[in-house]
Structure 1
C-alpha cells in the first residue's frame, strides 16, 4: 500500500490555481480599504515568515503580487515603504512597485537591494523623468546604469547623476558629462566636487566655469601653469565666438522686440506667428517672439541660436507649443538666416523623447543657465 505524501507548502514549483486566485481577489475587492490593507499586510507577514523558514511557496508570491496590483494607491504606498529595504520580498513585486507612480516607486528605487542594474536600466527606458531622476540619485549605482543615464542625455537626469557622489561613473562616461556641462551649467558645480573628476577632466571643465568654480578646481588640483594658461585662452576664444552674431538689445532699442511687444499686448502673438516670421526672414522677430511666449530671457534664446547643438532650440520650440514634427523645417530656415547655426554635428542631438511643454521649458532653462551650477 503506497503512502500519500502531502504537498510541501514551501516548494516554489507550486502555483495557486487561477480560479482560486480570482476568487480570493474578488473577496478582497469587496472589503473596505482598511480590510484590504490588513489582508495585504497579513500576506506580507506570511511571506516574510515563510522566507525565514527556507523559502515562500510560489502560490503565496502569486497572491502577494495579485493583491498588491488590485490594491488602492494609499495601500500600495504603505507597502512600498515597508518593502523598500527588505531582501525577502518577491523580486517581481519590487519591480512592479518601482514602476508604479513616483510617490510609490521612490522609496523602492532608492533603497531596494532586489533591484539589479538591468532593472534600473529598464526603468530608465520605460518610466517617467521623475523615475529616471530617482534612479540617478540611488546610492552606489553601478557603472552600467551611469552609462545608460549619460547615453540618454536628459539634462535633469544627468544633473541628478552628477550630484550622486557615490555613483560609479567610468572615465569615458564622466568625460561625456564634462562635455555636456559646456551647454548645461547645472552640471558644473556638482562635477567639480565629484570623486570621479580627475586632473585632465578638471582642466577641460575649467575652460567654461565661472570664477568661483575655477577657484574650487584650483584648490582641489595642482594644475600645470602652462596648461592652465592654455585653458584660459581657449575659454576666452569661446566667449568671443558666443558673442558673435545677432545683437538683441533692449525692447526700447530693438525694433524686433517692439514688434513682438505690440503683438503680445494685443493678444496676437501665437506659435504660428514664429513660423511666419522665419518665412519672412525675420530671425530677430522669431527670437524675441520665442522668448516672450516661453517667458525666457532673450539672451538664452541668443545662446541657443548660436549653439553647437540644436537641442536647446528644440526644447524652447516645444515649450511654446510648436509641433515637434515641424522642427526640422524650422531648423533649416534658421540655419539659412544664421550662418549655419545652431550646429548639430551628429544631426540628431535634438531628437528627444516626447516632452510636455512644462518639461521642455524646465530642461531648456537647465541647459541655458548661465550661473555656476545654478539650477532652476
Structure 2
C-alpha cells in the first residue's frame, strides 16, 4: 500500500507533497461510490473537528478539496447540502461547489457565509444563467452584486433581483430597473413591492403599470392627486405600455380546447410536434393549452406570454417543452397571424437567447411569469 504523508497538526501551513496527495486520490478512485462517500464524510468530519481545536492544517484542506473534485455527482450534491450554511469548510472548496452544476451549487450560493461579494461577482461573470439567478435570489446581497446584475441586463436575472426584497440595491441601479420595466413587464409587480422603491421612482413606475399596480403604489405611498394626474398624463404623452395583455381570443373554444388537450395528454399522444400542427390548423387555443400542459405551466401564464410586448417568455416556454429553437421563428410567425400581431417585440431579435436547457428555460419562464394571477416560480 502506498504511504500517505502524515498530517502534522502542529504545522497548519504544511501542504501535502504532490506525490502523497496523488497516491491518496488513486486509492479513492479505486473504491466504490459508497466507500468514496464514507471517506469524504470522514475527511469532512475530521476537518470540522480540527477547525474547532485551533484550525485545520492546510494539508487536510488540500485533501478535502481534491477528494471532492474527483467525487461522483451525487456525493458532491450531498456534500454541498451539508456545507451550505457551515462556516468551517475551506473557502476554496465552497467556491468550487458554487461553480458546480446548478443542482449542486444552488444551496451553497443561497446560504454559504463563506461566499463574499467578489465570489458572487465571479459567478455572475463565469457561470450559467441559472447560477446568476441564484446569486440574484441570495439573501442580503450587496450593492456591488446588484449593480452587476442590472448591468448584465438579463431579464430573468433582473426579475430575480427585483423579487429579492433583502437585496441592497442603490438608487441608481433601482432607477435603471424601473426604467427597464417599461419594456419588461415581469419587473413591475416585484418592483412595486420592493423596499428600495421611493416616492420619486414610484411615480415614474406609476406611468406604465396597470390599474392593479397603480392601486398598490397609491396604497403604499401617500401621493397627492395632482402628482398622480401628472404621472397619468405623462404616460399618455409617451404612449407607455401597461401590464401584460392577454390578446389571444380563446374564450369561445376554451373548454373544447382544454378537453381535447387533456384527452390527448391522458392517451400519451400530446407531443411538442402536435403544438406546431395545431398552429398550422389555426387552433391557437389548442396550442396554448397544449403548451401549458406539456410545460406544467398555468394557462394564464401562457396566455400572457402570447399577449406580451416581447416574445422572450414564449420562446422560453417553447424551449421548455422541447421544441427546437430553430423552429421558433416559424412558430412566432404563425402565432402572430392568429393573434393580432402579438407577441410584439420592439427589437425583433430580443427573444434570441443563448443556449438553454429544458429545465433552465422552464425556470426562467416561471420566473418571468411569477406575478401573473398569483402564479409562483
TM-score normalized with structure 1 length = 0.71
1:336 and 1:97 map into 2 onto residues whose CA distance is 47
| 1:289 aligned partner | 286
Q: Is the 8 A contact 2:261 2:290 kept in 1?
A: no
Name the CA shift for 1:220/1:247 in 2 (closer, same or farther; >3 Å): closer
**Structure 1 counterpart SS, 2:253:** coil
Correspondence for 2:349: 348
Asked whether the 8 Å contact 1:335–1:341 carries over to 2, the reply is: yes
Q: Distance in 2 between matches of 1:272 and 1:126?
A: 35
Q: CA offsets, 1:103-130, max 9 Å, x none?
A: 6544532344442334213334555666
Taking a change above 3 Å as real, the CA distance of residues 32 and 174 of structure 1, as seen in their structure-2 partners, is closer
RMSD: 4.5
Measure the CA separation in 1 of the matches of 2:262 and 2:255.
Answer: 14
Aligned mates of 1:114, 1:259 — CA distance in 2? 52
Q: Judge conservation of contact 1:294–1:319 (CA < 8 Å) in 2.
A: no
Ranked by relative contact order (alpha carbons within 8 Å, sequence separation 6 or more), the top structure is 1
Residue 203 (1) aligns with residue 203 (2) = yes
Tell me, in whole angstroms, the C-alpha distance in 2 between the residues paired with 1:107 and 1:269: 35
Q: What 5-or-longer segments of structure 2 have no aligned partner?
A: 1-7
| 1:220-252 superposed Cα distances (whole Å, 9 cap, x missing partner) | 323242331244564898569947x66333217
Q: Is the 8 A contact 2:15 2:62 kept in 1?
A: yes
Please say if 1:311 is aligned against 2:312: yes
Instruction: Identify the match of residue 41 of structure 1 among 23, 41, 45.
Output: 45
Q: Work out the CA distance in 2 between the residues paired with 1:80 and 1:241.
A: 38
CA contact (8 A) 2:316 2:364 kept: yes
Find the aligned partners of 2:37 and 2:339 in 1 and give their Cα distance. 62
User: Is the Cα contact below 8 Å between 1:304 and 1:342 reproduced in 2?
Assistant: yes
Question: Following the alignment from structure 2 to structure 1, what is the Cα–Cα distance between the partners of residues 216 and 286?
Answer: 39
Which entry has the higher C-alpha Rg, 1 or 2?
1
Q: Paired residue for 1:135?
A: 135
Query: CA separation in 2, counterparts of 1:273 and 1:91?
Result: 50
How many residue pairs are counted as aligned between the two chains? 355
Q: Which moved more, 1:341-350 or 1:362-371?
A: 362-371
Q: Classify the secondary structure of the residue corresponding to 2:251.
A: coil
Residue of structure 1 equivalent to 2:167: 167
Task: Report if the CA contact (8 A) 2:248-2:303 is conserved.
Answer: yes
- 1:293·1:320 contact (CA, 8 Å) conserved in 2? no
Secondary structure in 2 matching 1:250: helix
1:117 maps to 2:128: no
Q: 1:115 to 1:289 in 2, by over 3 A?
A: same
Q: Assess, with a 3 A threshold, how the Cα gap between structure 1 residues 39 and 159 changes in structure 2: closer, same or farther.
A: same
Q: Retained in 1: the 8 A contact 2:301–2:372? A: no
Higher mean C-alpha displacement, 14-23 vs 173-182: 173-182
* Shift in alpha-carbon separation, 1:249–1:76, aligned structure 2, 3 A: closer
Distance in 1, matches of 2:219 and 2:84, equals: 43
Unaligned 5+ runs, structure 1: 1-6
Name the residue aligned to 1:326.
327
- Residue 250 of structure 2 corresponds to 248
The verdict on how the C-alpha distance between 1:200 and 1:102 changes in structure 2, with shifts beyond 3 A counting, is same
TM-score, with structure 2 as normaliser: 0.71
SS of corresponding position for 1:247: coil
